[in-house]
Amino acid sequence: MGAMNGTYGSGGTTGASGTGGTSRPDRVRAAPGRTERLAVRTLTPPPAEGTGPGDETVVLAVTGELDHDTAAPLKEALTTHTGPGRRIVVDCAGLRFCDSTGLNVLLRARLRMLADGGRLDLSGLGPPVDRMFEITGALSVFRVYADTAAALADAPAADVPATTPEGS
């Protein structure tokens, strides 16, 4: 996912290489009192062909530890980007830890997305986080990709059952 990488902080953007997508440096958040334990960076890749308004995919790159004390920034970002027909990919490559609170934030956001005809996917689960999702059974609930590039390559409408041609 090198084309969308950039370092974002309260001081501004230090470089998102030209993909045509946008980044929002103001969307980097640290939980109050827990500076730098969790950061959420919002990236909007270029729209896929054939998508309309509201169909965009938003990538939330999560870095640090997701737990009871740090979940607020992710919860806020998920709420901000939930909407009819939208897709959110949570890039967990920088996530070092996730407890039950973090898992519940993701599960609840997934339910809200599904109710609105949207989708919440995960990418880049590292071993400690992947293990927690495996133990809890959450891996069977989420669509999980090796990395964000693989998630973005998958068509957002992939949850729609395939139709067969007439007469088949």
Full DSSP string of 46-94: PPPTT--TT--EEEEEEEEEESTTT-HHHHHHHHHH--TT-EEEEEEEE
Token pair 């005809």 is found at 117
Residue ranges covered by each domain of the chain = 21-154
Query: In the prediction, which pLDDT does 7 show?
Result: 28
Local confidence band at 37 (pLDDT 50, 70, 90 cut-offs)? confident
- Checking if the pLDDT of 50 tops 90, the result is no
For the ranges 68-82, 101-115, 144-158, the lowest mean pLDDT is seen at 144-158
Domain 21-154 belongs to what topology?
A: Transcription Regulator spoIIAA (3.30.750)
CB 69 within 8 A of CB 35: no
Confidence of residue 89 (pLDDT cuts 50, 70, 90): very high
Enter the pTM of the model: 0.70
Phi, psi of 92 (to 5 degrees): -100, 10
